[in-house]
Structure 1
Amino acid sequence: MLLKIYLKEMKDCFRDSRTLLLTVLLPIIMMTGLTLFYEKMISDGEGETYTLAVENSFDTKHEEIFAGFDTIELVRSANPEETLQDGEAVAALVLSANFLESIENGEKASVTLTGDSFSQNSSNLMSMVTNALAAYEKTITASRLQAQGTDLSVIQPFTIEQKEMSEEDPNINLIAMLIPLILALAIGVGAGPSASDLFAGEKERKTMEALLMTPVSRSTLLFAKWLTISSIGALTGIITLVVVAAEINFLTENLKKAVTFGDNAGLIVGLAVLISVIYAMFNASLLMITSIIGKTVKESQSYSTPVMMLAMFPTLIITGIGINELGFAHFAIPIMNLFTLIKELLFGIVNYEHILITIGSNLVGMVILFIVGRIMFMKDKWVMN
């Protein structure tokens, strides 16, 4: 009987074009957009130029300051800052009068760099200009010290060598933030319409009373509906992983270079699928409760929206935490542990203790939420409209 009810609910869900749209098409669009966005964000900007507004008096001697910075394109104007305001440049550079002569004579000179820190292009250009001016400043300082017969070690008493703790591509951290976020949102968006329809929808259509009159226990009905929501969420999660993997492999270059699992590729993919399924079951328990509470589909969707928004907070928390700083709490808190475990797996780390903590905490949370949903479903005040 449980299998028959389950298959019936699955067929009803996939007959609904809205469910198919939200379960398959919308997550794919979301994943594609976010994947391409992160690929563009971490690209090195090869072939892209930035326009810098300078004064008309900016001649070839001044241009030598930016030698080696081929991505900087100079735009001369009578008023560089006005040119910037008109949108003809992304930053403006104004030098004090007789800038080069003042430096040669040891007199005071100044530079004014204007830009918009809220603009990515302007920030990039300002950073490049600052680096070019800093290098030019060091050259001037070294020349003056040599002219005075001073050893250059005076201004550089020691050297700094910076090493990364991990040899992984730094872009892997962005993927570790991207994939769990897409996965959590896709599972929530995919399972949400089904959850709202299976409980609140039944009440709104006045079919719940007839369903409860059948010779099937409420526990069986509840479990079949919960299993349907879990299955749709798990299916969405698996589709998410497959599509993201395909897009990273065929549509990106930088993200593709960052992902290297070595000999553990099969194990890591299998664990990622397992975690997705378990998270879908936990998410189904939450959505089931919101649907039981709601009297209509619209009301149920209003209750489920905050549940989906919970997936945004781990992104803010986990992003700034190093892989070696993750502790017990990060793997024990449901929803957050989806982000922490997948982040660990993407770095090629398979820690079975962390995997068991994550699975165990999600199963405990799922059981508690399911029991709460069962208690509510057994009472007519929650299932009768």
Structure 2
Amino acid sequence: MKVYNTLTRRLDDLNCDGAASTRIYLCGVTVYDNSHVGHARTIVVFDILRRYLLSKNCPVEFIQNFTDVDDKIINRAIQEGVTVEEVASRYIQNYFKDFNSLNVLVADRYPRATEHIREMIQLISALMKKGYAYLSPNGIYFRVRSFSGYGKLSKKSIEDLDVGARIEIDQSKEDPLDFALWKFYSDPPVWDSPWGMGRPGWHIECSAMALKYFESPFEIHGGGYDLVFPHHENEIAQSESFSGKQFAKIWIHSGMVTVNSEKMSKSLGNIVTIQDALSRWGPNSIRIYSVSVHYSKPLDYSEKLLNESKHKWRQIETCACELRFAIGNKGYLTEVEQLSDQTMKAFESAMEDNLNTSLAFTAFLKLVTELNRYAAEEKLTADMSKIAGVVFNNIMNVLG
């Protein structure tokens, strides 16, 4: 299987032959509000990648974190007069409700940032000892220029970053480009550290959690395209400075869900929550919508696309029912065998070619359409159903 690697800017082999497992770390949500359709698209894409690898007898170890310490969570807690833990736990609970409804496989681990403060402090301490990080009046910062590979994921040069960094200068930093590993705070939530009370920076959280559970280099690090810079770039810098080894081999990023060509985001106020989408369209329509264009491309949220997805799901439901209740024998066995074989080959070919789910789904829908035609003409027999049903079920298990 070949997948596009943001790091190398090419299609790289994802080969699990002989590997104990394919390890995938997916950056999860910041739990200060309910998840939206943009989150659904990313998580469904990686769910299908995982399902496909499992269908090829490739063991997968899947980790998805929760960011449960963040200024947005703290602000929500203050507004509501509750604790940060109450806010985070509520939206984590809602997350599981949403994604269980979307039939997303449960991850092997869901590490929470607040449960890994010790690992973050250890990582920061090691970076300081190696000269990659330093103490300032406001906290601990990473020396960006100390890592020679900085910019290799986003392809941003230090020179280009210099220009933007001069816009807002923090005098407590050695260099405007440096980013926070630990910030000093007195108001809760805070944790004790060798340098003083405070909270971790966003980027160090994922590095600490990924490195705790996966020995580097692990196979896949994923997330939405908006995380390429600065989050994933900074993860690479601090993780590789710490270990001296490559952090992750392949970086996969899904395109954003847009509304009128703008990214769907809480900050822009244009979100559609998964709960709202589920109540209107249903889970299977949302899964079909999520893979209706290539995972790496932007996907616009539109009623037209979702109505089309709903119609396609009805076709699939009809087909499943017809396959289940088909009777009789001596049908068009040769034709159905050929059609089923061609469908499976086309489906796998599309999936092997950079997880082209839209093309794979098109191949599947052709099978569904033909089977529904046989049924409408009262030509679908039980023996035809037995042959086609194997391919139908195998593909449905991948699509979820």
- Superposition TM-score, scaled by structure 2 size: 0.25
* More strand by percentage: 2
* More helix by percentage: 1
- Superposition TM-score, scaled by structure 1 size: 0.26
Larger Cα-atom Rg: 1
